Amino acid sequence: MRTEPSPGNLPAREHLPAGNAGTPVLDVVIPVYNEEKDLQPCVLRLHEHLARTFPYAFRITIADNASTDTTPLVAARLEAEIPEVRSFRLEQKGRGRALRTVWSASEAPVLAYMDVDLSTDLNALLPLVAPLISGHSDLAIGSRLARSSRVVRGAKREFISRTYNLILRGSLQARFSDAQCGFKAIRREVAQVLLPLVEDTGWFFDTEMLVLAERAGLRIHEVPVDWVDDPDSTVHIVKTATDDLLGVWRVGRALATGSLPLDRLARPFGDDPRDREISGVPKGLARQLVGFCVVGGLSTLFYLLLYSGFRTFSGSQTANALALLVSAVANTAANRRLTFGVRGRDRAMKHQAQGLVVFGIGLALTSGSLAALNAATTEPSHSTELAVLITANLAATVLRFLLFRAWVFPDRHDESPSTVVASHTPAVPAGPASPVYATAPQSPYGTTHSPHDHRTWGDATMQLQPVRPNDHDSRNAR
């Protein structure tokens, strides 16, 4: 879907100021489910590491995913004993649900999470968040598949991980190397706009978030990590793999149909004000030319194949008209999506109607060329007809690009300010392709917070979710 030229809802990245020592710059979330044995050693080790090495104020948030053992009691005790620890209870399972809930309500400018088993060496934590603090990147991920990473795990998990990332590269054109490593961070202003677009509430949450961020042009920083597999992990591999593949299909279909408003995540180019004051330069002209040439080459091949097929049972004029009509519809749709970046169904019929006008001009050029050829030669050969049509199509192609750019898909960035979306947190439009999200709950963190104030976030979690049938996570997640 293409929103009329919006400048995006993300400001230029800036280095975070040191600020008040009591205000956390980093909020590290640890999602847990029935982790009564591992939780306390994990939190104590993480807290000691941050207190010793991290130069900013920080917080550790325990997100309990409806545990049925004594995990909530352990979390409450840690919250009471350590000032930098907070604990929250969610009444539904799902790692993605926990992260979206806590990240959406946190006021820390940098949000991170890690698995409770601490499989990733904590020495990678500062390199993970440093690019976000400096303003260089929007998201950061730990990668077990980078060349300099050192990983200890079984052959089965290694095979599954690499196969999954190959599937992402082949199906969703993902360029990040490791979608599943439980060691990620994001800037808060990015999370506020990106998270409402992420539907998954389980293990696919990470992948969906990264794919959407990458497609929107956000910068993802990768950190090679040292990682040791947890042999006691309770992740259900088959169930997780099945859900992940279903998620890949869902996200791929949404991207193909253009139902995701990714233009909301656009950032200004660079931090130098001069980058936004350059005038008189056609925006995106080079990219549009490349895209148009690729689409045009494929359309021409498609047209010639259609013409050859129609020519077997009809005259040259009829075959030309039919082939040009079919290829013109396909050409307009492809240029609309790939060359000029128009997504969704908004104004699609109008664009096709305008494309048919352009088709009529092309038909006049090619039909006129054929008529001239038939007038000059009584029985022209098939190869001669094709040569004439190719020449006429080249002329029609140049004219088509100019009409597409100036009339069908004009650059509307110079419209009046009233047409530009100025809000930094627009409402997600209702409809089958974009679920409605309620307003995120107010931040629970405040200066009056008591260490003994243990909270239950069941209702807040539900406010953040789209209404979908069977919205539950049955796997034993953590």
Give the whole-angstrom CA distance, residue 319 versus residue 214: 43
Q: Which of 27, 206, 263, 473 is catalytic?
A: 206
Active site residue 206: yes
Give the whole-angstrom CA distance, residue 409 versus residue 95: 42
Concatenate the DSSP letters of all residues of 227-279 into one string: EE--TT----HHHHHHHHHHHHHHHHHHHHHT-S-GGGG---SSS-GGGGT--
Provide the pairing of β-strand 85-90 with 455-456: parallel
Concatenate the DSSP letters of all residues of 106-143 into one string: ---SEEEEE-TT--B-GGGHHHHHHHHHHTS-SEEEEE
Phi, psi of 465 (to 5 degrees): -100, 145
Secondary structure in 3-state letters for 430-472: CCCCCCCCCCCCCCCCCCCCCCCCCEECHHHHHHCCCCCCCCC
What's the Cα-to-Cα distance from 302 to each of 2, 82, 294, 328, rounded to whole Å? Answer: 27, 67, 12, 10
Residue type, 441: P
Residue numbers annotated as active site? 206
